[in-house]
Structure 1
Amino acid sequence: MTFQTSSESKSVITVRHLNYYFGQGDLKKQALFDINLDISMGEIVIMTGPSGSGKTTLLSLMGGLRSAQEGSLKILGQEMRGASQEVMRQVRKQIGYIFQAHNLLSFLTAKQNVRMSLELHEEYLNQDMDAISTEILKTVGLGNRVDYYADGLSGGQKQRVAIARALVSQPKIVLADEPTAALDKKSGRDVVEMMQALAKQQGCTILLVTHDNRILDIADRIIYMEDGRLAENPNSAALVH
């Protein structure tokens, strides 16, 4: 396992001299400082670091959920700085998102929550979306829970539904923000191993933000953020042993 950045020709995420600010005028505060990073196709990268270090801000920029302000941010070859809302929407359709709070709709079943992700993609509208949704729920071990509403699922099961929803449309990139934070050790481990297996099967790239030292070994590479900067982590060797 290696640490920090690597430059590869097959980068799906390329960041150069990226700065980001919150607020305006006297209240303007810099959150990200001169970020340079390449993430390659099929790579599983974990980003770790203290709370408030800018990890979620960087993840939201990479996901097209915020607009890049200074520097260059290319996602799947598309420059995101200055991109139109339509371009950002098209990029977002190629990204799967997994959040700490699984964000399931409680009035829908597991299958319906997953199906919603497919309905955003025209190429699936003429396919059997119920069958596709059911199949991926079986893959994450929820074949007997497809018609359960979210409130009838445990925390680990809800997060499995969230993984199925993120991966069902076979996105090129999956961004996960603290996906194990609300789970016990075994559930958290199961969840990231499922994510890892599905992503490897589909050939997609994963960027996962976490404070959970128990899952660092699934990464191909670990990057460390501190005070809005990518930094060398003096304890990185200890984290993975």
Structure 2
Amino acid sequence: MPRPVVVDSLGVGVATGAYGISFGAVATASGLDVWQACALSLLVFTGASQFAFVGVVAAGGAPLAGSATAILLGSRNLFYGLSLAPLLRLRGSRRLTAAQVVIDESTAMALGQREEADKRTAFYLTGWSIFVLWNLTTLVGALAGAAIGDPRIFGLDAAVGAAFLALLWPWLAAWPQRLAAVVGAAAATGLVPLTAAGVPIILGGAVAVVVGLVATRRAPEVVPDSGADGQVPG
């Protein structure tokens, strides 16, 4: 087991897992209790989807609308799984267990190695170290958020939007991404007075996806800086 692979994998795990404290605080500020916040991190375990869900709930949307948004954002992990399946070669319950840690960081670390054994080592060490730390820090953040009581005291009522913007920022590196973001945001904003809470996010996201797909056909792909998803598990 090469030392650089272990060090790099655990380094990514620690840096990313620590961000769970932000999710825990934001989740309780959005109206979830401590155990609901912890259940999201334990069962969903994809940062973008988790922040999207609590964002919809915080805006007054129905949990179903939040779930639909979270599923749309998390669907990319399916394609990660397809690329990792030939490498991991798992069956039955082992496949289900490994699927829980198929996220941006574990996939990137695995595919970034040259040797097949190193790829598997990087995948498991990165994925499970993030999983453990993300869940522990979610609990800490949720307890802290619940202890504060009124989220407006420290500005946590605005933290969902701020966290989600930080999540998206690394992807806005070229004009196709910026165009998709602006058009999607404009569509969602325009739908706010016309639709129920949560619906503007779903429809605005759909518009952004269409615009992004069309725009990227006219421009080369731009890879964001390291730390996909703004240092939260994808």
TM over 0.5: no
TM range (shorter): under 0.3
Q: TM-score, normalised by structure 1?
A: 0.27
Q: Which has the higher contact order (CA 8 A, sep 6+)?
A: 2
Q: What's the TM-score, normalizing by structure 2?
A: 0.28
